[in-house]
Amino acid sequence: MKGEKKGIFNSASVGPDKCTFCKIAMGEFPSYMVFEDEKYIAFLDINPFSKGHTLVCPKAHGETVWDMEETEIGGLFLLASRVSRAVVEATGAEGFRLLQNNGEAANQVVAHVHVHVIPVMMSHKGKPMDRMQLDGGEMEATSAAIRKALSRF
């Protein structure tokens, strides 16, 4: 599936040596990790749309899904689905969004493939969601609750 990114633009393009998500995957930057294996990681978004907003990404650097093999894309979305179950259970959400952006025009901010798992409540229905700030204690408690729930899925 790897291919040319003709027409895809991202002013945040950097190599793996400067990529924030690569540095998180290597343990060089702190994060509220909820899952890690040899190919993928999942961690809380530091500026979430809702409590429990989690990012799922491959450890291997690539900017868009076009940089991934089909089996890697499948693995990414299988993990995102599994993480969504844990996020919904841990947060008491009434629904969830899976969001994956490719390129700056699609609102991709970090030029490393990732899937957003965003828990939502009925009160969010039909309303735009703003980014929020949660304190470290709340982020740690939320990531622990998601890790615990994830162990059952």
Residue from 53, 61, 112, 114 carrying the catalytic annotation: 114
Annotated catalytic residue 114: yes
Q: How many of the other CB atoms lie within 10 Å of CB of 150?
A: 20
The H or E element containing residue 22 is: helix 20-25
Query: What angle in degrees, to the nearest 10, is found between the helix axes of 70-91 and 136-150?
Result: 110
Encoded amino acid at 95, one letter: G
Cα gap 2→84, rounded to integer Å: 26
Q: How many of the other CB atoms lie within 10 Å of CB of 75?
A: 16
Q: Are 34 and 124 in contact (CB under 8 A)?
A: no
Longest dimension (CA), the chain: 43
- Our CA angle for 125, 89, 97, nearest 5°, is 35
Residues annotated catalytic, as ranges: 114
